[in-house]
């Protein structure tokens, strides 16, 4: 799986990946970038909520919850 690009929503719990691109537009793109999800940022999937959405991610020292709708538009490369 190393070196393969997938969406952040597809990243298995406990795995780390590097952000490669965002396919978001407008204010949501700005919000995601403000959270630290920019190119080459390392992200780790921590856990899913009991209902399965959102998922908690470790990003630059903070834990951020993202809905699968948003995470599916963030391309990452699995480490």
SS3 category, 15: coil
Q: Which domain holds residue 13?
A: 5-78
Please give the DSSP secondary-structure letter assigned to residue 34. Answer: H
Q: What is the pLDDT of residue 79?
A: 76
Give the chain's radius of gyration (CA, Å): 11
Is the pLDDT confidence value at 1 over 60? no
Picking from 26, 63, 28, the residue whose alpha carbon sits closest to that of residue 46 is 63
Q: What is the pLDDT of residues 21-52, one digit of tens each?
A: 999 999 999 999 998 999 999 999 999 999 88
Give the chain's domain count.
Answer: 1
Global pTM?
0.88
Instruction: Output the domain CATH number for residue 28.
Output: 2.30.30.90
φ/ψ of 69, rounded to 5, equals -60, -40
């Amino acid at each position: 799986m190393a070196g393969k690009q997938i969406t952040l929503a597809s990243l298995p719990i406990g795995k780390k990946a590097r952000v490669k691109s965002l396919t978001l537009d407008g204010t949501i793109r700005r919000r995601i970038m403000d959270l630290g999800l920019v190119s080459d940022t390392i992200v780790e999937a921590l856990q899913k909520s009991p209902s399965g959405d959102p998922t908690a991610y470790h990003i630059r020292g903070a834990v951020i919850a993202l809905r699968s709708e948003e995470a599916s538009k963030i391309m990452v490369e699995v480490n």
